[in-house]
Amino acid sequence: MTLIILMIAGAALFAYWNAARAAAEHAKQLGRNACSAAEVLWLDESVHASGIRVRRGEDGRLGFERNFRFEYSYDGVDRHVGRMVLRGERLVSFVGPVRPSVAPINLH
């Protein structure tokens, strides 16, 4: 009986760890792509988990919402912090670099 409980606990821990790693890899890819699109430097080439909580998804089922942060620089000297929130594999919030643009002014 104890062996079965230990096996179930081990499988649950492995599943949690595996999902956390997959979310971190996905966040890493999103951060890299955002920095590339905004033409900024992605510093340290990594993301850092900054929080986790249980939330309901759009389908009503419980799941984990993971918060990640990363750092980027416009000129290689300054450092800015970007943040993203993943609910499962879905990006639900992103604050980070944007590509600078100038909107034309219509004087008519």
Residue-level pLDDT at 98:
78
Please report, for the chain, the start and end positions of each structural domain, with discontinuous segments joined by +: 2-95
Q: How confident is the model at residue 65 (pLDDT cuts 50, 70, 90)?
A: very high
69 pLDDT more than 80: yes
Q: How confident is the model at residue 103 (pLDDT cuts 50, 70, 90)?
A: low
Cβ pair 28, 58 in contact under 8 A: no
List the strands of the sheet with 62-73, edge to edge: 41-56, 62-73, 80-87, 90-95
Would you say the pTM of this structure is higher than 0.75?
Answer: yes
Q: What is the pLDDT of residues 18-62, one digit of tens each?
A: 999 999 999 999 999 999 989 899 998 889 999 999 998 888 889
